[in-house]
Amino acid sequence: MSGTGDSILRVAEVERRFVPELGLGDRIAGWLGMGVDARPVRAVDGVTLEIARGETLGLVGESGCGKSTLGRLIAGILPPSAGEVLLDGQPVMRDGRKVTTRIQTVFQDPFASLDPRMKVGETVAEGPIAHGLTSRADAPAYVAQWFARVGLDPEWAGRYPHQFSGGQRQRIAIARALAMQPDLLVCDEPVASLDVSIQAQIINLFLELRRDLGLTMIFISHDLSVVRHLADRVAVMYLGRIVELGPTADLFAHPAHPYTAALLASVPKLVLQEGSLVEFSAIEGEVPSPLDPPPGCHFAPRCPRAAAACRAGRPPMRDLAPGRRVACLFPDLPPG
């Protein structure tokens, strides 16, 4: 799935800048000619992507890399500062407003994403009624169908969010997204706040839904083992840019970008043999401030392979092998 065949979503040169909101004191200081930091943060910095119909794309990276912002740009929650997001050739947003219901989102925190004063059945029915996917009269049966689909007892539609466990609340959030009959589901850390034993239940639900409904999914996660399990392709982000993109198994087996390699090596593995404690090959240093990213390749200051050319300009994204792209001047070449 290189994304070139039957593509459903196209992200073209998308950029998102955030300008810090200055308090009154800062603004006065600015007028008085003092150096006030009002530089914009480029949370997403020129990202181009294509997603094929029916595929699951994993979006990984560390905090502040821009993966959630990119997810929001794709879902039409945030307008891009430059570039465009196209669903089947049509813009997802117009004049700062989302103009499609075909993209829905599932967030990390099912506690925050459900209205505590609304019965969960009403929460799920709200969107479909507003968009004419069902009528008020048919809504209970419509909701019951989606409850059953995500493994919830339809009888529970009359209950309130606090009467459910974390895993059940996440099922409700998924039912709400699915009831809009989306083609593309953007999932931002949907299992991160769940207990391990509940995580497996929700991952299995995603596997089923993808198979049965032919959903296209963007799965944003900091947990590489979850992404490895669910994603067909993976995009690795670092400081607002995609640095590597490829089929999951290939990318995990042979990371081409030095950052991907370092990231994979940092993940603790389950140690099953006494005395075989793996030495962590930690990446040196920390992610630089997005307010003041280094010139050229953003990873260069931490990269063991960086040369002068890396600091001179942004390394272009290039093809290494079919479906494998990397933004590095000195990548590890996959075998074969």
- DSSP letters spanning 240-296: TEEEEEEEHHHHHHS--SHHHHHHHHHSPPPP-STT-PPPP-PPSS-PPPTTSPPSS
267: CB partners within 8 A, 6+ apart: 224, 225
Residue in 116, 196, 308, 336 binding another protein, rule: CB under 8 A = 196
Question: How far apart, in whole angstroms, are the C-alpha atoms of residue 317 and residue 319?
Answer: 7
Contact between residue 312 and residue 306 where contact means Cβ atoms under 8 Å apart: no
Task: Identify the residue whose tokens are 């007892």.
Answer: 153
Residue in 229, 294, 314, 334 binding another protein, rule: CB under 8 A = 229
Tokens at 212, concatenated: 């049965």
Write phi, then psi, for 325 (nearest 5 degrees).
-125, 145
Q: Does residue 103 touch another protein according to CB under 8 A?
A: no
**Site track for another protein across 54-73, x = CB under 8 A:** --------xx----------
CB of 195 to another protein, least distance (A): 4
Interacting positions 152-191 with another protein (CB under 8 A) = 165-168
Nearest partner of 100 among 85, 120, 80, 82, judged by Cα:
85
Q: Candidates 69-77, 81-89, 101-109, 281-289: pick the segment binding another protein (CB under 8 A).
A: 281-289
Strands, E, within the chain: which ranges?
7-18, 41-52, 56-60, 82-87, 90-91, 93-94, 97-98, 103-106, 184-188, 216-220, 233-238, 241-247, 318-321, 324-326
Residue in 149, 171, 176, 228 binding another protein, rule: CB under 8 A = 228
Cα 248–Cα 249–Cα 252 angle in degrees, nearest 5: 80
Q: Does residue 277 touch another protein according to CB under 8 A?
A: yes
Q: Does residue 280 touch another protein according to CB under 8 A?
A: yes
Q: Does residue 282 touch another protein according to CB under 8 A?
A: yes
Residue in 17, 119, 222, 314 binding another protein, rule: CB under 8 A = 222
Residue in 270, 292, 308, 335 binding another protein, rule: CB under 8 A = 270
Tokens at 40, concatenated: 């914009």
Q: Does residue 291 touch another protein according to CB under 8 A?
A: no
Nearest partner of 96 among 120, 80, 117, judged by Cα:
80
Interacting positions 105-124 with another protein (CB under 8 A) = none
CB of 224 to another protein, least distance (A): 7
44: CB partners within 8 A, 6+ apart: 14, 15, 16, 66, 69, 70, 73, 80, 240
Q: Which is nearer to another protein, 72 or 228 (CB)?
A: 228
Q: Which is nearer to another protein, 251 or 329 (CB)?
A: 251
CB of 128 to another protein, least distance (A): 28
Tokens at 332, concatenated: 């590890």
Q: Candidates 21-29, 45-53, 104-112, 197-205: pick the segment binding another protein (CB under 8 A).
A: 197-205
Tokens at 321, concatenated: 């092998």
Q: Does residue 286 touch another protein according to CB under 8 A?
A: yes
Q: Does residue 224 touch another protein according to CB under 8 A?
A: yes
CB of 252 to another protein, least distance (A): 9
- # chain residues binding another protein, by CB under 8 A: 47
Residues that bind another protein (CB under 8 A): 62-63, 165-168, 195-201, 203-204, 207, 222, 224-226, 228-230, 248-249, 262-263, 265-274, 276-283, 286-287
